[in-house]
Structure 1
């Protein structure tokens, strides 16, 4: 009799473990988890879409701005030294990069004092960098608020969970554990989106810094060109 009872218990335990394993496998499906995150998952989806849109839009603009003919400054120098200012101006205007637009402003101010030329170029450089950095603050904002949205979703879910437990009086561990892990989905999603936005923001900022460095180098070379004929 005892042997039969033990066999029944063992079979029941095995079936329970198998069912639990199957349930866990099903619950750990990515799309299944995402669908259980609750209503606050939708703002997180929107933040993710905005993050990707802003990144690819800015990435294309910044990548285009970083393209410059390696011989650009040499050609500008040759034209200025030869007195062909119109050709130098045309070359700078037609290049279409922030560096060339800064140099074009410097060529346009030729004949004025050096400090006036330099200030004009600095003003254009600031405008160009501002245009490149446009919308990057959105990524910075998302990096900060996405985890907060996720945490808010978890807190709201936990409040609802404990309210249901208090109302129904169901204190089974499986119910509590299942409810908790589902409510943590929003926190995990928010952290992932926030981390992604932070990484993309820093990547784009680095590319803008490279363009700023190119502008500074080109501006210094241009000022040297202006000083060369007077030597």
Structure 2
């Protein structure tokens, strides 16, 4: 039961932390791209602004990476954006593998507890015989509790793992769309690319 309890605490902590970190308004605010475009149009996109963008949100760090390469052409922008996006995706998926592992091993830990409990029950049968049904029933129920506990941890962990994976994928798609819009706009209007530096 101790490993199952530890897994449950870890699963709760990871789930709360990831839902807090992966808020769309924090990771990829919808007003960021219009704000960047306004800065470009007004020729006010400075190195300090790019530095703040990079620091404040993950989408900002991706857009800033592309803007810093805007003079080098479309391909350089795309490469820079993809490199930064892969780093951001890695950060967004942090701890998700751990949560998935907890969802997979919790039932196995419960089953292991049940097997060990049943071994104790059969040891008691060997020593005391089958005459004391209360001892046998109590031992079997204790053994089955670990399986139930493992499932109670695994089922919510798997649900939250899937939900968080879906959230990461959705946010990454939104970020990709914003980056494509920015790259297309900058490469379609070369004069704006000069203001990106």
Q: Within 2, Cα distance between the matches of 1:90 and 1:225?
A: 21
Q: Within 1, Cα distance between the matches of 2:54 and 2:136?
A: 67
Tell me which residue corresponds to 1:55.
Answer: 15
Deviation, 1:204, is 1.2
The CA RMSD measured in Å over matched residues stands at 2.2
Larger deviation: 119-128 or 82-91? 82-91
Match of 2:122 among 162, 168, 171: 162
State how many pairs are aligned: 190
Moved runs in structure 1, 4+ residues, more than 6 A?
A: none
Tell me which residue corresponds to 1:43.
Answer: 3
TM-score, scaled to structure 2: 0.87
Structure 1 residue 197 corresponds to structure 2 residue 157: yes
Deviation per CA, 1:12-34, whole angstroms, max 9, x where unpaired?
Answer: xxxxxxxxxxxxxxxxxxxxxxx
Q: Bigger relative contact order, structure 1 or 2, given CA contacts below 8 A and separation 6+? A: 2
Deviation, 1:172, is 4.3
Q: Does the 8 Å contact 2:70/2:76 carry over to 1?
A: no
Tell me which residue corresponds to 2:184.
Answer: 224
Pair 1:69–1:168, CA change in 2 (3 A): closer
Secondary structure of the residue aligned to 1:85 is coil
Structure 1 stretches lacking a partner, 5+ long: 1-40
Structure 1 residue 128 corresponds to structure 2 residue 101: no
Q: Within 2, Cα distance between the matches of 1:191 and 1:139?
A: 14
Structure 1 residue 215 corresponds to structure 2 residue 175: yes
Tell me which residue corresponds to 1:89.
Answer: 50
Tell me which residue corresponds to 2:195.
Answer: none
Q: Within 2, Cα distance between the matches of 1:45 and 1:73?
A: 44
Deviation, 1:66, is 4.3
Match of 1:108 among 45, 51, 68: 68
Match of 1:138 among 83, 87, 98: 98
Match of 1:171 among 114, 118, 131: 131
Written as runs of structure 1 = structure 2, the 5 A alignment for 1:57-76 is 57-63=17-23, 66-76=26-36
Written as runs of structure 1 = structure 2, the 5 A alignment for 1:1-16 is none
